């Protein structure tokens, strides 16, 4: 089955259509191992091409919404969640990435904090996958997910997106868990703590987290700029640190 180039002339005529897609990342414990890992929601294709394969959530741009609004909307529509972080990833537009009608996709990536309701939303056509085990996706979506992962890791190491995964207060060990889950390797607790404390974006509170079976760790608060402001476009270009 390769009807890919069945109607080339038709494809040559029409102007390419525009779509917005979003790679949505969330952290949650693996139900088997219990360790914190990266997950993302995918939707099942209910029409050709790539019928029945899993794909990134997405859809057309509505006339009066911005690109970013469209991404936030299709995030909300598939997960019922609000993005903690949302940034443009890349525009994909090769003439052969989709059979027949050409589609240019502007892709965003997002970080969310899943709650029970959102995870329950799993049905026939929406499901969460471990980011490292998504299987074969429709279109060029495997490539896109890979690239989004690379960007996430980059922003984590050089930016402040980690806090988008966390609540308003957190322990330094929780921050480290986020880094370890996303980067996929262990970090030295002692040095990691010092790096965070040196980074100025963080402030100790007077509270401690009780309930562990060990010394209660101090809670901290994030005081730096909204991580969203580190992405372009921004009202204040100085915010583009890295």
Comparison of 106 and 112: residue with beta carbon closer to a copy of itself: 106
Q: How far is the CB of 194 from DNA (least distance, A)?
A: 6
* Residue 26 CB, nearest approach to DNA (Å): 22
Question: For residues 172 and 191, what is the distance between their CA atoms, to the nearest angstrom?
Answer: 11
- Pairing between strand 58-60 and 54-55? unpaired
CA distances 176 to 165, 184, 191, Å, are 12, 11, 11
Question: Does residue 106 interact with a copy of itself by CB under 8 A?
Answer: yes
185 binds DNA (CB under 7 A): no
125 contacts 136 by C-beta, under 8 angstroms: no
Q: Where are the alpha helices (DSSP H) in the chain?
A: 8-13, 67-79, 116-120, 141-158, 172-183, 189-198
Distance CA 53, CA 49 (A): 9
Establish if 239 lies at the interface with a copy of itself (CB under 8 A).
no
User: How far is 193 from 189, CA to CA, in rounded Å?
Assistant: 6
Tally of CB atoms within 10 A around 72: 19
Choices 21-29, 60-68, 73-81, 219-227; region in contact with a copy of itself by CB under 8 A: 60-68
Residue with Cβ nearer DNA (3 or 216): 216
172, 178, 181, 202: residue in contact with DNA (rule CB under 7 A): 172
Tell me how crowded residue 10 is: count the other CB atoms within 10 A of its CB.
10
Q: Would you give the binding string for DNA spanning residues 200-229, x where CB under 7 A is met?
A: --------x-x-xxxxxxx-----------
Q: Which does 195 bind (CB under 5 to 8 A by kind): DNA, a copy of itself, none?
A: DNA
CB 16 within 8 Å of CB 93: yes
Interacting residue ranges for a copy of itself, rule: CB under 8 A? 11-18, 60-61, 63-67, 88, 90-95, 102, 104, 106, 143, 146-147, 150, 154, 232-233, 237, 240, 242
**Which residues here bind DNA, judged by CB under 7 A?**
171-173, 188-191, 193-195, 198, 208, 210, 212-218
């Amino acid at each position: 089955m390769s009807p890919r180039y069945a109607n080339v002339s038709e494809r040559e005529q029409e102007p390419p259509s525009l779509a917005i897609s979003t790679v949505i990342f969330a952290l949650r414990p693996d139900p088997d191992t219990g360790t914190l890992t990266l997950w993302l929601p995918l939707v099942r294709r209910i029409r050709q091409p790539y019928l029945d394969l899993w794909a990134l959530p997405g859809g057309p741009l509505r006339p009066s919404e911005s690109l970013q609004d469209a991404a936030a909307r299709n995030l909300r529509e598939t997960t019922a969640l609000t993005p903690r972080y949302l940034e443009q990833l890349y525009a994909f537009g090769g003439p052969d990435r989709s059979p027949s009608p050409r589609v240019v996709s502007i892709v965003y990536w997002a970080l969310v904090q899943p709650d029970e309701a959102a995870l329950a939303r799993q049905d026939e056509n929406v499901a969460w996958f471990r980011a490292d085990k998504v299987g074969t996706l429709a279109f060029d979506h495997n490539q896109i997910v890979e690239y989004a992962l690379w960007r996430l890791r980059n922003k984590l190491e050089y930016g402040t997106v980690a806090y988008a995964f966390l609540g308003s207060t957190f322990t330094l060990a929780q921050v480290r868990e986020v880094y370890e889950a996303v980067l996929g390797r262990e970090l030295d607790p002692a040095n990691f703590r010092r790096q965070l404390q040196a980074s100025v974006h963080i402030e100790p509170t007077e509270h401690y987290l009780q309930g562990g079976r060990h010394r209660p760790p101090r809670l901290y608060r994030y005081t730096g700029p909204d991580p969203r402001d580190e992405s372009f476009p921004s009202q204040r270009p100085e915010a583009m640190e890295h």
